[in-house]
């Protein structure tokens, strides 16, 4: 998570670690937890 911009980086374990970057209008999917996190909801009320 960035405190200055609306984006998040997720590192996933594959053969090697793989980085994914999510921007403001994207959804972070965590399959192992059966969870989807819209980035705009995470930052709601934090950055204007």
Q: How many CA atoms lie within 13 A of 29 on its CB side?
A: 1
- Residue 29 belongs to a domain: yes
* pTM flag (> 0.85): no
Residue 24 has pLDDT above 90, yes or no: no
Q: How many domains does the chain have?
A: 1
Question: What range defines the domain where residue 15 resides?
Answer: 7-42
Strand segments (E) across 1-48: 7-13, 17-23, 27-30, 35-38
Query: Which helix or strand (DSSP H or E) is residue 48 part of?
Result: none
Determine the pLDDT at residue 11: 93
- Residue 2 belongs to a domain: no
Q: Which DSSP state fits 39? A: H
- Residue 31 belongs to a domain: yes
- Residue 18 belongs to a domain: yes
- Residue 28 belongs to a domain: yes
Determine the pLDDT at residue 14: 81
Contact partners, residue 43, CB within 8 Å, separation at least 6 = 6, 24
- Residue 19 belongs to a domain: yes
């Amino acid at each position: 998570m960035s405190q200055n911009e609306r984006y998040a980086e997720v590192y996933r374990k594959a053969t090697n670690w793989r980085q994914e970057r999510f921007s403001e209008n994207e959804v972070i999917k965590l399959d192992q937890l059966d969870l989807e996190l819209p980035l705009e909801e995470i930052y709601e009320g934090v950055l204007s």
